[in-house]
Amino acid sequence: MTPPESELAGRVAIITGAGRGIGLAIARNFCEAGATAVIAELDADAGEQAAQALRDEGHDAWARQCDVRSRESVDALVEAVQTRHGCIDILVNNAGMNFVSPTECQPDSDWHLQVDVMLNGVFICTRAVGTVMLRQQSGVILNISSIAGYGAWPLRSAYDAVKAAVISLTENVGCEWARRGVRVVSVAPGVTRTNILQSLVDQGVASLDQYNRRTPMGRVADVEEIASVARFLVSDRASYITATTLAVDGGWVAWDGLPGKAAV
């Protein structure tokens, strides 16, 4: 069996929203296994800086400004990657954000932005890259869902609905393409140390201590713990896994209904 440090050698991976956070950790992890990372990022500066940082570490990475909400933007990305590499082996639908507010006063803009980026964007990227992969008769699409997709988490109605829809989309498209060489899988991270978590803590709508206590393992995740599972799922070691979501959550989802369940 190929050693893990070269199991993605020669593969071309597009990771959306990889300018920072979980996406950047996934890009770095894939590069460490020999892949070329294409950082598809709305924030052009963040994308360029991330790609440069990976190149400085000796990896093969480049960035392209891309808005996953736009079919034109995603089509241009796909064309650029094909022109440069001739194939697309991996797509990670990672771009996202998280707004917290009571549903009765949630602004239209917050609802629409979360649905546009984390559901419509996943569809737009899946369709565009999936078309290439179906032609190749090979490829893996990894969607980043969330523990929020498994049940109610008050004050996050749009985020929960979108992440549940991503779990459903993974099952649906995974089954549809299962006999055509394309796997579609998903991970549902627990609370993870990134900008999303920091901004919720800064706004006073979440507490790190509360998240730690709510998690059976007693701590939130580091980005590398999500990235290493992402590498497994896109690798050939996971060749019989499709149309399913794996929780990477320190036991969060399993711990249901006991005292101490998160109140925020």
Ligand X SMILES: NC(=O)c1ccc[n+]([C@@H]2O[C@H](COP(=O)([O-])OP(=O)(O)OC[C@H]3O[C@@H](n4cnc5c(N)ncnc54)[C@H](O)[C@@H]3O)[C@@H](O)[C@H]2O)c1
Q: Between 36 and 146, whose beta carbon lies closer to ligand X?
A: 146
Size of the site for ligand X (CB under 6 A): 32
Catalytic, 240? Answer no
Q: What are phi and psi of 83, to 5 degrees?
A: -60, -40
Residue nearest to ligand X (CB): 21
Q: Between 100 and 196, whose beta carbon lies closer to ligand X?
A: 196
In 10 A of CB 239, how many CB atoms?
A: 9
Judged by CB under 6 A, which of 7, 11, 20, 245 binds ligand X?
20
Site mask, ligand X, residues 68-97, x = CB under 6 A? xx------------------------xxxx
CA dist list (Å): 189 to 31, 71, 159, 246: 21, 27, 13, 8
Q: Which of 150, 159, 211, 240 is catalytic?
A: 159
Which residues does 23 contact at the CB level (< 8 Å), separation at least 6? 15, 16, 17, 39, 41, 92, 94, 95, 144
Considering only residues 95 to 114 of the shown chain, the ones binding ligand X according to CB under 6 A are 95-98
Judged by CB under 6 A, which of 22, 90, 185, 230 binds ligand X?
22
3-class state of residue 9 by DSSP: coil
Which residues does 197 contact at the CB level (< 8 Å), separation at least 6? 191, 206, 208, 211, 220
Judged by CB under 6 A, which of 7, 27, 31, 41 binds ligand X?
41
Considering only residues 118 to 157 of the shown chain, the ones binding ligand X according to CB under 6 A are 118, 121, 144, 146
Tokens representing residue 94 in the block: 């990672």
Tokens representing residue 82 in the block: 């094909």
Strands 182-189, 244-248: pairing kind: parallel
Judged by CB under 6 A, which of 14, 27, 66, 128 binds ligand X?
66
Q: Is there binding between residue 17 and ligand X (CB under 6 A)?
A: yes
Q: Between 21 and 174, whose beta carbon lies closer to ligand X?
A: 21
Considering only residues 150 to 209 of the shown chain, the ones binding ligand X according to CB under 6 A are 189, 191-192, 194-197
Of 227, 16, 48, 20, give the one whose Cα is nearest residue 124.
Answer: 16
Can you tell me the distance from the alpha carbon of 209 to that of 194, in angstroms, rounded to the nearest whole number? Answer: 15
Judged by CB under 6 A, which of 14, 16, 38, 153 binds ligand X?
16
Active site residues per annotation: 159
Which residues are near ligand X by CB under 6 A?
A: 16-17, 19-23, 41-43, 46, 66-69, 94-98, 117-118, 121, 144, 146, 189, 191-192, 194-197
